[in-house]
Structure 1
């Protein structure tokens, strides 16, 4: 029996993208074990995985912070006697841990990020609009290098079921015959956020439709202020900020009929519970390899004939045109029609 340490610290979406690979591996290699090392806040993503997957908390803001803290973390992990280490992050912290494991003779296998292909995708001149290998396959490739080829056959963290409705009922009420639409309007970077004044038109449209119920997903002060404004205007809309944990949020997502999301973590979370996602892409592009698990390209909304996009892999690059045409050029009616084509 092999015991494997798998490392990925952030971000939420990237860690969520490891789940289909970890789950597929765990069901195909039931005699072997995985210990997944990440931040404590991300543990709920792994709570419904097979029994041969466990989670190890990396307290990167506490006892495991800094180089000394990482050495403490290494000593704690060393005591578990791993047969191999898989670094699915490939950043300074994980490179340091990998180096320490190599010193004691533990084989280490590292993620190849395909940076050169992505650079050609986003450069201003002579772009190469070629679809890059997706992150799921890149993660699976690391397992293959370690001697564990994996068939990616994941469907949902709940299998063929939905999440426990009883843990969300006090927040959502009964579903009945209504169609439930989740809307996650924010992302980490401006280049990935559909303008809020346009998104509000989408919210307003569905708020007036008694066949549906809208739930707003997000967190943070800016999002809370925005959601407060929207729910004051549209009382049938429900903000979930402060009402759910990640566990219960995933359970609620599993009961949605569709999620509207940016190229952000919520696209990936909804994908883990096998829910269709209408995703909006501005500065970024699905060709970079970050589309949600088994999401249909037909459910992406983007301007495909804009010469300057994509201009960023992660959305952090300021718009050099200055007008964010990639986002402002998407009309709300287009988003509405796509959602309605799925739920009705």
Structure 2
């Protein structure tokens, strides 16, 4: 049986589909698993042993569709479910199942604060999409695989070989703590801290480093995604916003402190199947959630969901296994 899974973006969302990949491959005899994603996210999946062939969305959609037509798939599992994936399914004319994004229920929560969302993680809802194939959740959590060996000593200075990873980035500003709050966190920690984020976070990272004690190393923009994942795996614990590196940390069952701003855990994207997790959020705000994704600035201007975070409530999770 040849199966195509589709999820175009982003880092965290793709990592959250890895149990579907694994369960399909392991539970269906002779299953051949293909995966379609954007070229920029190829590194997340190109070392996954459960993916037989990776297809990359590049050039025109029609070119990608022609490539896929040659494969003669038996099923399409659409875990993105947008206009482009609908066009792909229409053109391929293959039996398909699509992930229910629950957009109406999310709309009610965001706009009217009426929560009728299921109390169910998005991974379990992804797996519901393939239940018709008699595939069940194996309970093994998320996967992340490396393409090669990476030595921690080559990535960090000697002073930061045992550290806490602080993920300062997120796609939208309303999902990120302000710089002064991130500095507060660094000041509460006695352990060395490694700041993690992309090139777009480098300037904020430097501001945090300069405003913090001597134990902060700014790694933002210095590493590839795979190298950042290595640093996540080797951290004693991770403090992160609702973002992709948080889900990579969950794949390694790291102790995680997740920080929530305009989004809420009720959307079902909190760290999946981790044994140690502390959640930070400002309860009781009538404006929250203000979006299912995020904004470039607080729509009301006060940004209470992050400005009122109690950074002094952060606790060091047990690290006996590190």
TM over 0.5: yes
Alignment check: 8 A CA contact 2:255 2:277 kept? no
1:243 matched to 2:222? The reply is yes
| Alpha-carbon distance in 2 for matches of 1:6, 1:230 | 40
Structure 1 residue 130 displacement after superposition: 5.1
For residues 51-200 of structure 1, what are the structure 2 equivalents within 5 Å? Answer: 51-59=50-58, 63=59, 69-102=60-93, 106-124=94-112, 127-128=114-115, 131-145=118-132, 147-155=133-141, 157=143, 166-173=150-157, 179-200=162-183
Count residues in correspondence.
Answer: 319
Structure 1 residue 242 displacement after superposition: 3.9
Write the deviation string for residues 282-317 of structure 1: whole angstroms up to 9, x where unpaired: 211101111122146951111222233222211238
1:205 matched to 2:188? The reply is yes
Structure 1 residue 165 displacement after superposition: 6.4
Equivalence for 1:17: 16
Structure 1 residue 164 displacement after superposition: 6.9
Q: The residue matched to 2:54 in structure 1 has which SS?
A: strand
Equivalence for 1:219: 198
Match of 1:288 among 263, 267, 278: 267
The structure-2 alpha-carbon separation of the partners of 1:138 and 1:205, relative to structure 1 and needing over 3 Å to count, comes to same
Match of 2:235 among 245, 250, 256: 256
| Alpha-carbon distance in 1 for matches of 2:123, 2:300 | 33
Write the deviation string for residues 298-343 of structure 1: whole angstroms up to 9, x where unpaired: 51111222233222211238645431212111122113xx2x1444
The structure-2 alpha-carbon separation of the partners of 1:190 and 1:132, relative to structure 1 and needing over 3 Å to count, comes to farther
Q: The residue matched to 2:272 in structure 1 has which SS?
A: coil
Structure 1 residue 158 displacement after superposition: 6.3
Write the deviation string for residues 225-282 of structure 1: whole angstroms up to 9, x where unpaired: 1122333454432222343222222222111121111111121121122212211112
Q: The residue matched to 2:247 in structure 1 has which SS?
A: helix
TM-score, with structure 2 as normaliser: 0.88
1:228 matched to 2:206? The reply is yes
Which 5+ residue runs of structure 2 have no aligned equivalent? none
Match of 2:291 among 300, 305, 312: 312
Which 5+ residue runs of structure 1 have no aligned equivalent? 64-68
| Alpha-carbon distance in 2 for matches of 1:158, 1:92 | 28
| Alpha-carbon distance in 1 for matches of 2:39, 2:100 | 25
| Alpha-carbon distance in 2 for matches of 1:129, 1:108 | 27
Alignment check: 8 A CA contact 2:22 2:50 kept? no
Structure 1 residue 12 displacement after superposition: 1.7
Equivalence for 2:2: 3
Structure 1 residue 181 displacement after superposition: 0.8
Write the deviation string for residues 30-73 of structure 1: whole angstroms up to 9, x where unpaired: 521111111223222224433554322211xxx2xxxxx11111
| Alpha-carbon distance in 2 for matches of 1:305, 1:343 | 32
Write the deviation string for residues 174-227 of structure 1: whole angstroms up to 9, x where unpaired: 699x64211111212222112211111112333xx2xx2211111133x11112
Q: The residue matched to 1:121 in structure 2 has which SS?
A: helix
TM-score, with structure 1 as normaliser: 0.83
